[in-house]
Structure 1
Amino acid sequence: MSAFDDRGRAHEAKFARDQEVEFRITARRNRLLGEWAAERMGLTPEETDAYAKAVVQADFEEAGDEDVIRKLAGDLTAANVEIGDAEIRAILNEKTAEARRHFIDSQN
């Protein structure tokens, strides 16, 4: 029974680690998205930093990416930047891959 318990704990630890990794990648992706959107809106470096943090915070409103997409779309539209949801989703996918690469590089 001890081997079974050990294996169960190992699976739980791996699940927790995987969840932490995904959280970090998503937070990094959201920061990259915020920086991208801030550049499109012509924000200053100080405003860019604050905006990137706000995008990271926006992801805690609900599960999934829709809260971040809504924030970006609304803010970009308010700043007179013409952009559609499809372009935002494409950038989101691009920044996800970039964030994953950053995470992998930081582990080596």
Structure 2
Amino acid sequence: MSGFDDREKAQENKSAHDAELLFKATARRNRMLGEWVADEFLGLTGDARAEFAKEVVAADFDRPGDSDVVEFVMAKVSAAGGELSEARLRHKMNELLVVATAQISAQS
């Protein structure tokens, strides 16, 4: 029974670690996404660029999944008169998640 308990505890620890890694990587991805959008579509620099990136990170806490971030970014780009397709945005989000995950993993 002890061996089973040990395996169960190890699986719980791995699941918690994986969830923490995903949370950190997603937050980092959203920050990088905000920086990319600020550069490419909004023309923001300096503090305004950093503040926008923080807003993108905060937008992810509205509801589960990426739809809140997508809606926030699409609305901001549209309000600024820019054009960005949802497909391109989601593709960039996927690219940046890979980068963010690698960065977080390298730090561990």
TM-score (norm 1): 0.92
SS in 2 for 1:95: helix
State the Cα distance separating 1:45 from its structure 2 match. 1.0
Equivalent residue for 2:62?
A: 61
The one-letter code matched in structure 2 to 1:37 is V
State the Cα distance separating 1:99 from its structure 2 match. 1.0
For the Cα contact (< 8 Å) 2:27–2:57, is it kept in 1? yes
Question: 1:53 and 1:15 mapped to 2: Cα distance?
Answer: 27
Equivalent residue for 2:6?
A: 6
Deviation sequence 1:58-85 (CA, Å, 0-9, x none): 1111111100000110000111111111
The one-letter code matched in structure 2 to 1:67 is D
Equivalent residue for 1:28?
A: 28
Shifted more, 72-81 versus 92-101: the winner is: 92-101
RMSD between aligned alpha carbons? Answer: 1.1
Instruction: Report the number of matched residues.
Output: 107
Equivalent residue for 1:47?
A: 48
TM-score (norm 2): 0.92
Gapped regions of structure 2 (runs ≥ 5): none
Percent identity (aligned): 43
